């Protein structure tokens, strides 16, 4: 049986925080605000996987009200999701994700983001695809106020 899931996340950009996407620190003047590292890409992937498995959302498993997740790396949370999927006997067929940001340009970091996500899930890197796009200056992403990500996955 195959199951499909989707995920979406958005966080605002702020000064004084590192920018983490796909478990990769990206040199940039701003970072994403959130309880954890606010890694929108990994959060979107987590929600896609949880949804495909018919499980609850990221906030249920890793609530922002729990101090043990404060400033935690989301790529570690993804490893915990991999265990949940294994417990349910699911294997990742593939993941396709898109980061939506005007800046910074992410082309030089895509390979490392793919590697980090694949490693956290224990899958071949070929099963993880990541793209980046802009909004041509429109909306909150286009104005540089935040970064969004969306993901879709297939579980077997």
pLDDT tens by residue, 1-27: 899 999 999 999 999 999 999 999 999
Question: b/e for 111-137, b at 16 or more Cβ within 10 A?
Answer: ebbbebbbbbbebeeebbbbebeeeee
Mean pLDDT score across all residues of the chain: 97
Query: What is the reported pLDDT for 58?
Result: 96
Residue 126 phi, psi (nearest 5): -65, -15
Dmax over Cα atoms in the chain, in whole Å? Answer: 45
Sign of CA dihedral 102, 69, 125, 155: negative
Task: Grade residue 124 by pLDDT with cuts at 50, 70 and 90.
Answer: very high
Which pLDDT value is given to residue 108? Answer: 97
The strand pair at 31-32 and 3-14 is best described as antiparallel
The per-residue pLDDT for range 75-90, each reduced to its tens digit, is: 999 999 999 999 999 9
Identify the weakest region by mean pLDDT among 37-46, 65-74, 115-124, 146-155. Answer: 65-74
pLDDT at site 134: 96
pLDDT at 11: 97
How are strands ordered across the β-sheet holding 146-155? 31-32, 3-14, 146-155, 92-100, 128-133
Strand pairing class (128-133; 24-26): unpaired
For the chain, which residues make up each domain, given as ranges?
3-155
Contact 81, 50 (CB under 8 A): yes
Q: Report whether CATH 3.30.40.10 matches the domain 3-155.
A: no
Using the structure block, give the residue that is written with the tokens 């940039």: 28
pLDDT (tens digit per residue) in 24-62: 999 999 999 999 999 999 999 999 999 999 999 999 999
Residue 57, pLDDT score: 96
């Amino acid at each position: 049986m195959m199951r499909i899931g989707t995920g979406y996340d958005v966080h605002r950009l702020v000064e004084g925080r590192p920018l983490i996407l796909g478990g990769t620190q990206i040199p940039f003047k701003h970072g994403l605000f959130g309880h954890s590292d606010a890694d929108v890409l990994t959060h979107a992937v987590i929600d896609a996987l949880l949804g495909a498995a018919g499980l609850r959302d990221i906030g249920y498993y890793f609530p922002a009200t729990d101090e043990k997740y404060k400033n935690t790396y989301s790529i570690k949370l993804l490893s915990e999701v991999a265990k949940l999927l294994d417990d349910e006997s699911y294997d990742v067929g593939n993941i396709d994700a898109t980061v939506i940001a005007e800046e910074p340009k992410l082309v030089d970091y895509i390979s490392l983001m793919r590697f980090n996500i694949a490693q956290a899930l224990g899958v071949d890197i070929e099963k993880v695809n990541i793209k980046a796009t802009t909004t041509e200056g429109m909306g909150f992403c286009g104005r540089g106020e935040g970064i969004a990500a969306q993901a879709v996955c297939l579980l077997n």
